Structure 1
């Protein structure tokens, strides 16, 4: 099959969506399919890749690491007549290049799959617009966009439920991004110990994340303070970079634990695998994810996770079986669960072994097979296509403003 991906995030930007797209495209190509990727351009030396087509973009939009692609510049990047040969268009966002992908697919009567990677209403602080309005519009736009596609992929059952409650009526398939188990073989367990000159007795609590406000890493640091009261051997290692890094370092200093909190920066490839393999416990507190992919990666390395109860992890973290899960406001409970694992090696190994079994059930090979079946069912000749809508964003904005006007009028009477 010839498959066209349209995404607003891709390498070298580091995040869950680019990783999911890269991994899925690689596995589809291994299985004999050709995958075209239309993505933004970024600052610096962006490596050319076969079948990856960069679109002119506003780089570092609003002083963030994001690039804002300009869809009107898409045409020079690739001979779009080739889209007539495409079997399926897979869009990964409901605006910008996602909107371009939808419109081009409808022009050629091609099936469109939309993966709902992001709870957009929880990322509005990156935009220079009124937050309440932007959050409400993000929900309305993504719902209307989803209903213009032929199928929607939700990375978790909680997200599927949310989309249906919001009014998505096309088929919604639960399909997370799987873990490429081959990538997480090997590794050097002493990598972090050598990097930070840690003793063999030191216990390592690890998180891997973009260091950003919405990732709730301050929760992890505050929980680690509680842990330090009872455990003098543990350190907290953070892998990743982001605009909140300086604030997180300041928080660690203010709480008096800067000497036990280590910032490793971005790690990729075998260094990232080695970081996972060297950890005793993995921790994750984000409540904004549609899927906590890094949690699955840690489980693929046999490391038991302690997570905050949230939609992105409930499908694969089973408390007391392969990890622990605590309420969103439970810093003390979180610290206690991490301590339990650090203090009980037998329990840590048992939960780690179950975590590895779970990761194998969510392998990239398995999830890609399911994705193939979705593609093939939609590309069958004679299948009806979703409705063609133009100016989705503009129409939602006008509708929203009209409803707000009516609300204000109602208050007058």
Structure 2
């Protein structure tokens, strides 16, 4: 078999779960029999020019396997690929099966095939939905979902779409790190009770309840007066009492915060198979999350974290507070998450599962 090229394509060169998975696969394939390229349509560097989806697709070499993770216009990208291109698509949210939204949440229009007018004001939502789904089917792509939840939604969007499930994976350390050392590096007292809120966009992250983080914190602080809270991922540094807001930090520094914390508070309103929960588990950090989307496939409530009925804010704050007051239980859950997650969510396993798909495409 000739050595083929696998193109890992994303809309953005940096940030986001789709880009992270594409980058991990890019690195994992370097030691395989496949050449690999990470292509993209835009970066977060102000001086870089936007490349149209059509132009990015037309630049794909012949005899390549294209692995699409995201695009500004997936239908335009797929329809512009060279003929006979073999395609894999990983769905990281619902944008490729809706008229524009990343997650339908409580929108009843998803069940009605996004009939116009769209309540979220996406223009021509039903036309866009039809175009996206037609492109998925016409490309004859292998469709991958990291979660069973999104796979079910995809089949619901169109019964003709076949979906395989490959859970996300990340680099996983062999041993749990020392929490005391991490706290010392951050200047935290060894007995501190530390809770983290994390999301790209910080307190502006709507799907992650970012605008409500301070309300959650106030409820937690009332129940655990000695608690210290960090909100990570925004665009500025600020402090209100024991609640500290921190802008985007690199992955190494984020890991230090996760290692130092007792509880990861993740009041997400919708999610596929979030990498941030896997990252918390890889640090031995117990997550508390709403039982939405693919999160329920990651967290076994009471074992490696806690699931809360969706959008029950007071219950959520209570569960976080109870874990902060019971650090031994939090550590036990963190240990369960670390060891259990290491068996299921290593990036090596994810890469090998994708290589099987590439092999099937390369031979036929």
Identify the TM-score tier after normalising by the shorter chain: 0.7 to 0.9
The equivalent residue for 2:301 is 319
Q: Which range moved further: 158-167 or 141-150?
A: 141-150
- Provide the C-alpha distance between the structure 2 equivalents of 1:182 and 1:30, rounded to a whole number of angstroms: 20
Is 1:131 matched up with 2:120? yes
TM-superposition CA deviations, 1:90-111 (whole Å, max 9, x none): 1123653x44552354x33122
Q: How does 1:1-16 map to 2 (within 5 A)?
A: 1-11=4-14, 14-16=15-17
- Provide the C-alpha distance between the structure 2 equivalents of 1:141 and 1:93, rounded to a whole number of angstroms: 16
**Cα distance change on mapping 1:136 and 1:291 into 2, 3 Å:** farther
Question: 1:21: Cα distance to partner?
Answer: 1.4
**Cα distance change on mapping 1:198 and 1:35 into 2, 3 Å:** same
Question: 1:191: Cα distance to partner?
Answer: 5.0
TM-superposition CA deviations, 1:157-215 (whole Å, max 9, x none): 010000001115243011232011149975875556655x5433321111221122232
3-state DSSP class of the match of 1:207? strand
- Provide the C-alpha distance between the structure 2 equivalents of 1:146 and 1:99, rounded to a whole number of angstroms: 8
TM-score by length of 2: 0.82
The equivalent residue for 1:158 is 149
The equivalent residue for 2:35 is 34
TM-superposition CA deviations, 1:256-293 (whole Å, max 9, x none): xx212212211213212111111111111222322211
**Cα distance change on mapping 1:220 and 1:185 into 2, 3 Å:** same
Q: How does 1:10-409 map to 2 (within 5 A)?
A: 10-11=13-14, 14-42=15-43, 44=45, 56-57=49-50, 69-74=51-56, 80=60, 83-86=61-64, 88-93=65-70, 95-96=72-73, 98-99=74-75, 101-105=77-81, 107-120=82-95, 121-123=100-102, 131-134=120-123, 135-137=125-127, 139-149=129-139, 150-182=141-173, 191=182, 195=186, 197-211=187-201, 212-241=205-234, 258-360=240-342, 361-381=344-364
Q: Which range moved further: 157-166 or 208-217?
A: 208-217
The answer to whether the 8 A contact 2:11-2:40 is kept is yes
**Cα distance change on mapping 1:187 and 1:33 into 2, 3 Å:** farther
3-state DSSP class of the match of 1:131? coil
Gaps of 5+ in 1: 47-53, 58-68, 382-413
Matched residue pairs, number? 338
**Cα distance change on mapping 1:336 and 1:325 into 2, 3 Å:** same
Question: 1:336: Cα distance to partner?
Answer: 1.2
The answer to whether the 8 A contact 2:13-2:44 is kept is no
Gaps of 5+ in 2: 104-117
Question: 1:130: Cα distance to partner?
Answer: 7.8
State the superposition RMSD in angstroms. Answer: 3.0
- Provide the C-alpha distance between the structure 2 equivalents of 1:43 and 1:371, rounded to a whole number of angstroms: 28
**Cα distance change on mapping 1:219 and 1:130 into 2, 3 Å:** closer
The structure whose Rg is larger is 1
TM-superposition CA deviations, 1:370-408 (whole Å, max 9, x none): 111122222322xxxxxxxxxxxxxxxxxxxxxxxxxxx
3-state DSSP class of the match of 1:177? coil
3-state DSSP class of the match of 2:30? helix
3-state DSSP class of the match of 1:122? coil
- Provide the C-alpha distance between the structure 2 equivalents of 1:230 and 1:273, rounded to a whole number of angstroms: 27
Question: 1:133: Cα distance to partner?
Answer: 4.4
**Cα distance change on mapping 1:43 and 1:220 into 2, 3 Å:** closer
**Cα distance change on mapping 1:166 and 1:71 into 2, 3 Å:** closer
Question: 1:329: Cα distance to partner?
Answer: 2.0
- Provide the C-alpha distance between the structure 2 equivalents of 1:283 and 1:138, rounded to a whole number of angstroms: 35
- Provide the C-alpha distance between the structure 1 equivalents of 2:19 and 2:42, rounded to a whole number of angstroms: 13
The answer to whether the 8 A contact 1:122-1:214 is kept is no
- Provide the C-alpha distance between the structure 2 equivalents of 1:214 and 1:72, rounded to a whole number of angstroms: 30
